[in-house]
């Protein structure tokens, strides 16, 4: 759990982009910002083309600048290596052209592991190799609720197990969320009188500060670039193509330097009836091309699956509650796409009068565990009715459900699992077993209520040090995933071949269970 001192919130906002030319060394994977003064007349958002090249030895990173209002232009750079970097600007405005300098980049401090990347095909790790195992939640419109409620959301997240947050750039208008936001992303006035060629810098300044707040909490910001929860009210869901593209250029230039950013092209992309699949392909190509740091990119579905095989899609983001009711079904998505699979929406714990918003806590936790032993990842959401319409899934605030504590227990189990991630062990025969064969096994029994479990494993391969399978020894723990207990089983279990496909315990032992649902068994090979 995180400790979040609210008194530091203002300090974090002020320090969000504190690096400037001449300010001294910059930390690797932090933000170096070059602030320049230029013309404020005309339309600087489209009239001025500003970029820079940052060079260290044979490594060159091209960065796009942006206009931040009041004659201020900014270039932001996230250095990926320590050393002395050189930079030089290019601009169609002479006063902003050929600005050169150097910056010294030092190694990262503890807690800074860099951006998250795909690892081991189906999993994730930070840039420094530290494993990252997502346990996410959803708060679509939390950054448009005002300082008091936003601070409460951050405090809740600080005490939660979640290390990823799905959130929208644009405001949201939907049932239980019809309030107007304090700020709007474009110049103009509500409800739909906007100049899509002029951004409102204050809106994006606030957004990026909140993403920086999440970074201080160790939380990845899964930034949703488009969504259908507008229905023409503001018109952000049906902007012309030129406005869509200009927006993507701007938001990429502003946010890409933040190491905890993920890009989600859309939430329920297929419900945006004013857009075509080809539009989202174009969006993905723009982000992929213009993000110099190649942050993770996904797109989330409503009823129709997107083409997740496209090379710039790094991982598969899925809405599908039934798939994680059974590990075997969840695992099939790995076989299809051969990328990390994140079931970002599997319905929500809550009591809404909608079938997607009234899961019990037990059911949501069950779906997390089924997805986990499938070698995939699952996202949390909460939708409990409230007289003030402050519901976590949209506005944030406080969590009311019983699943987060149980998901914290799951996170501890994941943190103690192999760095390479959990993969299906015998997907064709027994999808309830995940781990790394010969080393670690996690068996989830779900809604079954057995009184014992025969120690029986699929035939494992030789260990990496060529230890023979026959005679391998394991310790065992019984996990109660609902009551959050771990009970070690006395002694060791020794593998002995039972048939061509399975190994049992040499002494024929079984593991005693309490006859309750939601039990799991964890096996770890005894070190030689």
What is the fold of 442-525?
Immunoglobulin-like (2.60.40)
CA–CA separation, 296 vs 142, rounded Å? 22
Please state the CATH superfamily assignment of the domain spanning residues 18-106 in this structure.
Immunoglobulins (2.60.40.10)
**Cα–Cα distance measured from residue 138 to residue 169, given in angstroms and rounded to the nearest whole number:** 13
The set of long-range contacts for 289-294, using a CB threshold of 8 Å and a minimum separation of 24, is 290/64, 290/248, 290/249, 290/252, 290/253, 290/256, 291/252, 291/256, 291/263, 292/61, 292/62, 292/63, 292/256, 293/78, 293/80, 293/115, 293/256, 293/257, 293/259
CA distance 385 to 390: 8
18-106 and 442-525 share one fold: yes
**For the purposes of burial, counting CB atoms within 10 Å of the CB of 321, is it exposed (0-12), middle (13-18) or buried (19 or more)?**
middle
The pLDDT score that the predictor gives to residue 16 is: 41
DSSP 214-232: HHHTT-EEEEE---STTTT
CATH classification for the domain delimited by 128-415, as one of 3.40.50.1370, 3.20.20.80, 3.30.70.60, 3.40.80.10: 3.20.20.80
Q: Are 220 and 134 in contact (CB under 8 A)?
A: yes
> Closest Cα partner for 142 from 154, 131, 132?
154
Task: Please name the residue ranges forming H helices in 175-222.
Answer: 201-216
pLDDT of residue 468: 85
Residue with token string 């590990």: 327
pLDDT of residue 291: 98
271 three-class SS: helix
Tokens 């918003």, located at residue: 357
Q: What is the pLDDT of residues 22-72, one digit of tens each?
A: 457 999 999 999 999 999 999 999 999 999 999 999 999 999 999 999 999
Report pLDDT digits (tens) over 70-84: 999 999 999 999 999
- Centre a 10 Å sphere on the Cβ of residue 18 and count the other Cβ atoms it contains: 12
pTM of this structure: 0.95
Which SS3 state, helix, strand or coil, does residue 201 take? helix
Cis peptide before 191 (omega within 30 of 0): yes
Element (H, E) at 476: strand 473-480
Instruction: List the chain pLDDT tens, one digit each, 528 residues.
Output: 444 443 334 333 333 444 444 457 999 999 999 999 999 999 999 999 999 999 999 999 999 999 999 999 999 999 999 999 999 999 999 999 999 999 999 999 999 999 999 999 999 999 999 999 999 999 999 999 999 999 999 999 999 999 999 999 999 999 999 999 999 999 999 999 999 999 999 999 999 999 999 999 999 999 999 999 999 999 999 999 999 999 999 999 999 999 999 999 999 999 999 999 999 999 999 999 999 999 999 999 999 999 999 999 999 999 999 999 999 999 999 999 999 999 999 999 999 999 999 999 999 999 999 999 999 999 999 999 999 999 999 999 999 999 999 999 999 999 999 999 999 999 889 999 999 999 999 999 999 999 999 999 999 887 666 778 999 999 999 999 999 999 999 999 999 999 999 999 999 999 999 999 999 999 999 986
Name residues whose C-beta falls within 8 Å of residue 321's C-beta, 6 or more positions apart in sequence: 345, 346, 347, 356, 359, 367
Please state the domain extents for the chain: 18-106, 128-415, 442-525
Which CB contacts under 8 angstroms, 24+ apart, belong to 144-148?
144/171, 144/172, 144/181, 144/182, 144/183, 145/179, 145/395, 145/396, 146/182
Q: What distance in Å separates the CA atoms of residue 187 and residue 70, rounded to the nearest whole number?
A: 14
DSSP label at residue 1: -
């Amino acid at each position: 759990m995180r400790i979040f001192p609210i008194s530091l919130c203002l300090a974090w906002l002020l320090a969000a982009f504190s690096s400037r030319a001449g300010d001294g060394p910059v930390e690797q994977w932090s933000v170096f910002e070059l602030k320049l003064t230029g013309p404020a007349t005309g339309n600087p958002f489209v009239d001025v083309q500003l970029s820079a090249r940052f060079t260290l030895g044979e490594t060159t990173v091209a960065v796009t600048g942006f206009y931040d209002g009041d004659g201020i232009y900014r270039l932001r750079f996230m250095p990926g290596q320590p050393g002395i970097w050189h930079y030089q600007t290019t601009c169609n405005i002479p006063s902003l052209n050929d600005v050169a300098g150097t910056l010294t980049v030092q190694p990262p401090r503890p807690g800074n592991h860099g951006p998250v990347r795909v690892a081991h095909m189906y999993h994730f790790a930070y840039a420094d190799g530290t494993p990252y195992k997502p346990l996410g939640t959803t708060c679509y419109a939390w950054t448009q609720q005002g300082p008091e409620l936003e601070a409460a959301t951050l405090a809740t997240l600080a005490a939660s197990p979640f290390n990823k947050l799905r959130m929208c750039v644009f405001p949201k208008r939907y049932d239980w969320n019809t309030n107007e936001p304090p700020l709007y992303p474009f110049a103009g006035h509500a409800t739909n009188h906007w100049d899509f060629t002029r951004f409102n810098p204050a809106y994006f300044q606030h957004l990026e500060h909140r993403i920086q707040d999440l970074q201080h909490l160790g939380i990845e910001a899964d930034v949703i670039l488009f969504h259908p929860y507008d229905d023409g009210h503001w018109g952000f869901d049906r902007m012309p193509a030129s406005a869509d593209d200009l927006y993507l250029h701007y938001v990429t230039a502003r946010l890409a330097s933040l190491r905890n950013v993920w890009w989600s092209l859309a939430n329920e992309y297929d419900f945006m009836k004013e857009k075509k699949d080809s539009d989202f392909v174009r969006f993905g190509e723009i982000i992929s091309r213009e993000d110099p740091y190649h942050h993770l990119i996904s797109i989330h579905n409503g009823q129709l699956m997107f083409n997740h095989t496209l090379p710039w899609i790094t991982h598969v983001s899925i809405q599908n509650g039934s798939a994680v009711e059974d590990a075997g079904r969840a695992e099939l998505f790995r076989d299809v796409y051969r990328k990390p699979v994140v079931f970002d929406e599997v319905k929500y714990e809550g009591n809404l009068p909608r079938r997607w918003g009234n899961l019990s806590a037990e059911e949501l936790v069950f779906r997390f565990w089924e997805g986990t032993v499938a070698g995939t990842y699952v996202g949390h959401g909460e939708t409990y009715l409230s007289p003030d319409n402050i519901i976590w899934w949209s506005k944030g605030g406080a969590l009311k459900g019983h699943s987060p504590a149980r998901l914290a227990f799951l996170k501890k189990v994941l943190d103690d699992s192999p760095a390479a991630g959990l993969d299906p062990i015998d997907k064709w025969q027994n999808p309830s077993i995940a781990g790394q064969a010969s080393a670690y096994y996690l068996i989830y029994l779900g809604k079954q209520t057995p009184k014992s479990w025969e120690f029986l494993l699929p035939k494992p391969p030789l260990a990496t040090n060529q230890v023979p399978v026959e005679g391998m020894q394991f310790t065992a723990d019984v996990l109660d995933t609902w009551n959050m207990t771990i009970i070690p089983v006395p002694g060791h279990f020794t593998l002995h071949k039972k048939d061509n496909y399975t190994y049992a315990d040499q002494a024929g032992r079984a593991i005693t269970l309490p006859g309750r649902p939601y039990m799991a068994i964890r096996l770890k090979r005894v070190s030689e």
